[in-house]
């Protein structure tokens, strides 16, 4: 266990980088996923097609390929940047497909009668959306969205594995492969680093679910 | 279109939708055209880059597809082994969690929560780095399988548990009242029904496992994505190669996902109420578990 204590600053940096990737990934995929979700339920057919194809492509393709594509494909077409941003881009493209599905199923879980009632009392589209549909949809989006986000945190390790310097996984790789430290304590430290994020995340999610739960 | 959000359209909104469709369609085509133009501008449509994949007369054609076929088999092998082991271990975990006495149930729950919180890529890396240091020397395939199994068996354990919990309590009570032992109640009455309910979720999990085999590249297991990387080093055509590989994955996984949806519909047709709840439970469990 000395390895962990000796390299505590390295681990802390790794944790910070991981959290950074996750924060950017969270914001990006939430925004993109919500837009795509709106596309999927829109009356405009071409937008629905965009949403559907996006979901089918990115849900069925390994994140690894998406990341490799961003890292090695984008420079080929003249888009250059740091690996960090390629990694975040890949993570956002991939996660947004899952966010989109969560949003869509959330909206569809509201029964049509609710919207009909809202229209019947004379609310317009914006009002029925913000007073009737969204408050209910958000509640049923929380549980699936939460598992998507926790999955994303774990997937950020893959971003690290292919070369974002200094995240938790990269720290593990560096210590165990390059410096030849005993793998068991080094990787236990890395695993602990992720558990520090995912387990409180899961508890927070459980609490949030209970808080917003509604009986239907 | 969502019936929740929009009323049945009248003539005016139908006209508006039509106009919107044309504008959106043009915008989508415009974006696609921009992408294609940019690709063409950078010479990504040069035949030289594509021909190893699509032109049978190209000198690399056979070699490239042979490599990918071999790698594809490795991918399927790893996925099949991981899935089989995860099913067995996952079921055992779920059963021991259900039947465990209170004083050690927390240990099982702890293991499940621990493994669920660790990224699968760490589990694979862990297996490949730590096991050799304890004198376990295996082919790379097995490190990948061990890593994937460690992660997926706890996910499957949760699916199984959700499946069993979704069954009406009458099933258990009826089985107990005719004098079956606890193992018989589980084995003859609850598990067979639970598996039926869980089948769609299990197939969705197979998609996740298939995708996760691509993490074998981290430990240099020669699966599809890793082999694609080797091909790219020689042919220098990352965009083309990754597109083809992605397409292969998407076709297989899309078919599997559709099959899962089909099964779900078919299964829920017969028994209403029972499977609905279970599916919901199972689906929230798996949601987007994989990589």
What is the CATH topology of the domain spanning A16-166? MetI-like fold (1.10.3720)
| Closest among B76, B60, B52 to B238, alpha carbons compared | B52
Enumerate the residues of chain A whose CB falls inside 8 A of the CB of residue B122: 157, 169, 172, 187, 190-191, 194
Cβ–Cβ of B117/A42 closer than 8 Å? no
Best mutation target, B19, B133, B276, B291, to test chain A (most A CBs within 10 A): B291
Q: Counting beta carbons within 10 angstroms of the beta carbon of residue A59, is it exposed (0 to 12), middle (13 to 18) or buried (19 or more)?
A: buried
The residue in chain B having the minimum alpha-carbon distance to the alpha carbon of residue A73 is B239
CA distances from A164 to A72, A83, A85, A88, A169 (A): 14, 6, 9, 10, 9
Best mutation target, B5, B116, B225, B251, to test chain A (most A CBs within 10 A): B5
Rounded to whole angstroms, the Cα distance separating A93 from B226 reads 21
The domain tally of chain B equals 1
Quick check: A151 contacting B, CB < 8 Å? yes
Cβ–Cβ of B249/A60 closer than 8 Å? yes
Q: What angle do CA A8, A14, A18 make, to 5 degrees?
A: 145
State chain A's maximal CA–CA distance in angstroms.
70
Question: What's the distance, CA A75 to chain centroid?
Answer: 24
Output the tens digit of pLDDT for each of chain A's 216 residues.
Answer: 677 777 788 888 889 989 999 999 999 999 999 999 989 988 888 999 999 999 999 999 999 999 988 888 888 877 888 888 888 999 999 999 999 999 998 888 888 888 889 889 988 888 888 898 888 888 888 888 988 999 999 999 888 877 666 788 888 878 877 777 778 888 888 888 899 998 898 899 888 888 887 655
Rounded to whole angstroms, the Cα distance separating B281 from A26 reads 24
Report the pLDDT value the prediction gives residue A14, as an integer from 0 to 100: 87
Enumerate the residues of chain B whose CB falls inside 8 A of the CB of residue A44: 17, 20-21, 24
Any idea what the CATH number is for the domain that residue B190 is in?
Answer: 1.10.3720.10
Enumerate the residues of chain A whose CB falls inside 8 A of the CB of residue B9: 43
Rg (CA), chain A: 21
The verdict on residue B15 lying in a domain is no
The verdict on residue B13 lying in a domain is no
Quick check: A213 contacting B, CB < 8 Å? no
Enumerate the residues of chain B whose CB falls inside 8 A of the CB of residue A69: 238-239, 242-243, 246
Cβ–Cβ of B212/A62 closer than 8 Å? yes
Contact A172, A157 (CB under 8 A): no
Tell me which residues of chain B, numbers 217 to 246, contact chain A at a CB-CB cutoff of 8 Å.
217-218, 225, 228-229, 232, 238-239, 242-243, 245-246
Contact B72, B226 (CB under 8 A): no
Quick check: B180 contacting A, CB < 8 Å? no
Enumerate the residues of chain A whose CB falls inside 8 A of the CB of residue B248: none
Report the pLDDT value the prediction gives residue B270, as an integer from 0 to 100: 62
- Tell me the ipTM for this assembly: 0.87
Which regions in chain B score pLDDT beneath 50? 275, 282-291
The verdict on residue B53 lying in a domain is no
The residue in chain B having the minimum alpha-carbon distance to the alpha carbon of residue A171 is B122
In this structure, what token pair is assigned to residue B81? 């082994």
Contact B205, B156 (CB under 8 A): yes
The verdict on residue B243 lying in a domain is yes
Domain residues for the domain of B216 are 58-260
The residue in chain B having the minimum alpha-carbon distance to the alpha carbon of residue A56 is B254
Enumerate the residues of chain A whose CB falls inside 8 A of the CB of residue B46: none
Please, which residues have CB within 8 angstroms of residue A174's CB and are 6 or more apart in sequence?
none
Enumerate the residues of chain B whose CB falls inside 8 A of the CB of residue A42: 1
Chain A: closest CA distance from residue B120 (Å): 8
Contact A148, B288 (CB under 8 A): yes
Tell me which residues of chain A, numbers 181 to 200, contact chain B at a CB-CB cutoff of 8 Å.
182-184, 187, 190-191, 194-195, 198-199
The verdict on residue B143 lying in a domain is yes
The verdict on residue B148 lying in a domain is yes
Q: Counting beta carbons within 10 angstroms of the beta carbon of residue B166, is it exposed (0 to 12), middle (13 to 18) or buried (19 or more)?
A: buried
Cβ–Cβ of B287/A151 closer than 8 Å? yes
The verdict on residue B21 lying in a domain is no
Report the pLDDT value the prediction gives residue B289, as an integer from 0 to 100: 42
Rounded to whole angstroms, the Cα distance separating B88 from B197 reads 17
Query: Strand, coil or helix: what is B103?
Result: helix
Tell me which residues of chain A, numbers 9 to 68, contact chain B at a CB-CB cutoff of 8 Å.
41-50, 56-57, 59-66, 68
Cβ–Cβ of B291/A172 closer than 8 Å? no
Cβ–Cβ of A172/B122 closer than 8 Å? yes
| Closest among A61, A9, A194 to B121, alpha carbons compared | A194
The verdict on residue B46 lying in a domain is no
Give the tens place of pLDDT for each residue, B129-175.
Answer: 888 888 888 888 999 999 999 999 999 999 999 899 889 999 999 99
Rounded to whole angstroms, the Cα distance separating B161 from B202 reads 13
Enumerate the residues of chain B whose CB falls inside 8 A of the CB of residue A46: 21, 24-25, 27-28
Name the residue ranges covered by the structural domains of chain A: 16-166
């Amino acid at each position: 266990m000395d390895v962990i204590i000796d390299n505590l600053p390295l681990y802390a940096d790794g944790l910070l980088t991981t959290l950074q990737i996750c924060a950017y990934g969270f914001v990006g995929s939430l925004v993109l996923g919500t837009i795509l979700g709106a596309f999927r339920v829109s009356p405009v057919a071409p937008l629905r097609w965009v949403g559907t194809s996006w979901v089918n492509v990115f849900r069925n393709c390994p994140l690894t390929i998406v990341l490799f594509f961003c890292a090695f494909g984008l420079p080929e077409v003249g888009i250059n940047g740091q690996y960090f941003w390629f990694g975040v881009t890949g993570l956002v493209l991939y996660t947004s497909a899952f966010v989109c599905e969560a949003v869509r199923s959330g909206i569809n879980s509201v029964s049509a009668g609710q919207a009909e009632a809202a229209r019947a009392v004379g609310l317009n589209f914006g009002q029925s959306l913000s007073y009737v549909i969204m408050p209910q949809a958000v509640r049923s989006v929380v549980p699936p969205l939460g598992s998507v986000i926790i999955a994303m945190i774990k997937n950020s390790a893959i971003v690290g594995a292919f070369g974002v310097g200094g995240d938790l996984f990269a720290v593990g790789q560096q210590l165990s492969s390059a410096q030849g430290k005993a793998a068991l304590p080094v990787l236990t430290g890395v695993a602990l680093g992720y558990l520090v994020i995912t387990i409180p995340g899961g508890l927070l999610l459980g609490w949030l679910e209970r808080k917003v739960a509604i009986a239907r | 279109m969502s019936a929740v959000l929009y009323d049945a359209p009248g003539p005016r909104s139908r006209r508006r939708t039509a106009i919107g469709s044309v504008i959106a369609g043009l915008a989508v085509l415009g974006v696609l055209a921009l992408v294609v133009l940019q690709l063409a501008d950078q010479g990504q449509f040069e035949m030289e880059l594509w021909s190893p994949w699509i032109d049978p007369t190209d000198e690399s054609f056979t070699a490239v597809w042979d490599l990918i076929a071999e790698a594809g088999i490795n991918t399927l092998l790893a996925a099949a082994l991981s899935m089989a082991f995860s099913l067995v271990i996952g079921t055992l975990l779920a059963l021991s969690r259900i039947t465990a006495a209170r004083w050690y149930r927390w240990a099982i729950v702890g293991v499940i929560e621990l493994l669920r919180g660790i990224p699968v890529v760490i589990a694979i890396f862990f297996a490949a780095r730590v096991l050799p240091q304890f004198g376990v020397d295996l082919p790379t395939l097995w490190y990948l399988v061990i890593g994937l199994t460690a992660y997926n068996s706890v996910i499957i354990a949760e699916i199984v548990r959700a499946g069993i919990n979704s069954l009406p309590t009458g099933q258990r009570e009826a089985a107990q009242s005719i004098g079956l032992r606890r193992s018989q109640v589980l084995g003859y009455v609850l598990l067979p029904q639970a598996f039926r309910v869980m089948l769609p979720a299990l197939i969705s999990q197979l998609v996740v496992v298939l995708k996760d085999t691509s993490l074998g590249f981290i430990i240099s297991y020669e699966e599809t994505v890793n082999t694609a990387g080797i091909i790219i080093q020689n042919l220098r055509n990352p965009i083309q190669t990754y597109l083809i590989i992605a397409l292969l994955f998407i076709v297989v996984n899309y078919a599997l996902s559709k099959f899962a949806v089909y099964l779900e519909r078919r299964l829920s047709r017969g028994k209403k109420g029972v499977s609905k709840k279970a599916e919901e439970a199972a689906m929230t469990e798996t949601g987007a578990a994989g990589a």
